[in-house]
């Protein structure tokens, strides 16, 4: 049995969700429908090197930042003298040119509405992404989500240890001046759920990138289809029967 962070079981046997003061949104696969475009751009990077890859080759490295995303597949494919920084630079060039454009449809329906509801309720909101800031800014702009919406934006550039390490989430909670136990994380990747658990934060997972079975294995608080399926009640009280151990 997997027990997620912040579960409080009362004598009645009912589960108390606890206080919520902030919501930390992952970007790729949560706010933005950008996981598949990212894989396509990465396939193009390797194709320019003469290395044939499929989008599925990148699945095990999803949510861990572009450097590991690319270097992980390079290692599996046995690419000699792989230059991670050069590959990452080319990845961003391709990605921003092809996919992160206004009116690209990259934003998930319901994202703006949920962020607005959280803010109206007095919750602090942040982006906490393993992507570099150049990609975060481009994606948010393409999705019609102004950076001014957020109380903090955390990106990979400032961190040595990315998800599944908890560093990004813990830094976000510190900047927001909210204890980790009062933060809710919304994630789509195994590494992201693991990072939330390591940070002792509750985590709502969405099945936009991985299957429900794959996400259940790492113990999110509960699972929804996508950000448009997450209600303010889910965030504030764990939803109706949504909280699971």
Q: Which of 98, 122, 143 is the last residue of a domain?
A: 98
Q: Give me 86's structure tokens.
A: 């050069």
Q: 26, 48 in Cβ contact below 8 A? A: no
Q: How sure is the predictor about 2, in pLDDT bands with cuts at 50, 70 and 90?
A: very low
Domain identity same for 139 and 220: yes
Domain identity same for 69 and 136: no
Q: Is residue 190 part of a domain?
A: yes
Count of the separate structural domains present in the chain? 2
Q: 230, 117 in Cβ contact below 8 A? A: no
Residue 160: how many CB atoms within 10 A of its CB?
7
Residue 78: how many CB atoms within 10 A of its CB?
8
Q: Does the structure show a pLDDT above 50 at 38?
A: yes
Domain identity same for 20 and 67: no
Domain identity same for 118 and 173: yes
Q: How sure is the predictor about 43, in pLDDT bands with cuts at 50, 70 and 90?
A: very high
Q: Which of 98, 119, 137 is the last residue of a domain?
A: 98
Residue 143: how many CB atoms within 10 A of its CB?
22
Catalytically annotated residues: 26, 28
What does the alpha-carbon distance between residue 213 and residue 97 come to, in Å, rounded to a whole number? 34
Domain identity same for 89 and 148: no
Start-to-end CA span in the chain (Å)? 7
Q: Is residue 17 part of a domain?
A: yes
pTM of structure: 0.86
**pLDDT tens digits along 105-128:** 899 999 999 999 999 999 999 999
Q: Region 58-85: what's the mean pLDDT?
A: 92
**pLDDT tens digits along 202-230:** 999 999 999 999 999 999 999 999 999 99
Q: What pLDDT does 11 receive?
A: 47
Q: What pLDDT does 14 receive?
A: 54
Residues spanned by the domain of 64? 35-98
Q: 190, 219 in Cβ contact below 8 A? A: no
Q: What pLDDT does 104 receive?
A: 80
**pLDDT tens digits along 135-179:** 999 999 999 999 999 999 999 998 999 999 999 999 999 999 999
């Amino acid at each position: 049995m997997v027990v997620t962070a912040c579960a409080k079981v009362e004598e009645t046997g009912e589960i108390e969700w606890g206080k919520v003061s902030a919501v930390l949104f992952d970007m790729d696969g949560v706010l933005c429908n950008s996981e598949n475009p990212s894989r396509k751009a990465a396939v193009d990077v390797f194709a320019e090197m003469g290395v044939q890859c499929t989008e599925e080759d990148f699945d095990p490295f999803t949510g861990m930042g572009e450097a590991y995303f690319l270097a992980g597949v390079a290692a599996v494919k046995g690419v000699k003298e792989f230059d991670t920084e050069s590959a990452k630079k080319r990845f961003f060039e391709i990605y921003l040119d092809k996919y992160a454009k206004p009116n690209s449809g990259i934003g998930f329906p319901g994202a703006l509405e949920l962020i607005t509801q959280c803010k109206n309720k007095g919750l602090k909101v942040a982006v906490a992404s393993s992507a570099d800031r150049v990609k975060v800014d481009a994606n948010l702009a393409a999705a019609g989500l102004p950076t001014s919406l957020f109380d903090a934006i955390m990106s990979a550039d400032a961190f040595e240890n990315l998800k599944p390490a908890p560093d990004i989430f813990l830094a976000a909670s510190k900047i927001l001046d909210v204890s980790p136990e009062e933060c809710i994380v919304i994630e789509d990747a195994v590494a992201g759920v693991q990072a939330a658990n390591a940070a002792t934060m509750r985590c709502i997972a969405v099945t936009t990138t991985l299957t429900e079975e794959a996400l259940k294995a790492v113990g999110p608080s509960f699972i929804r289809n996508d950000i448009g399926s997450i209600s303010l009640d889910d965030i504030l009280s764990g939803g109706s029967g949504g909280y699971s151990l």
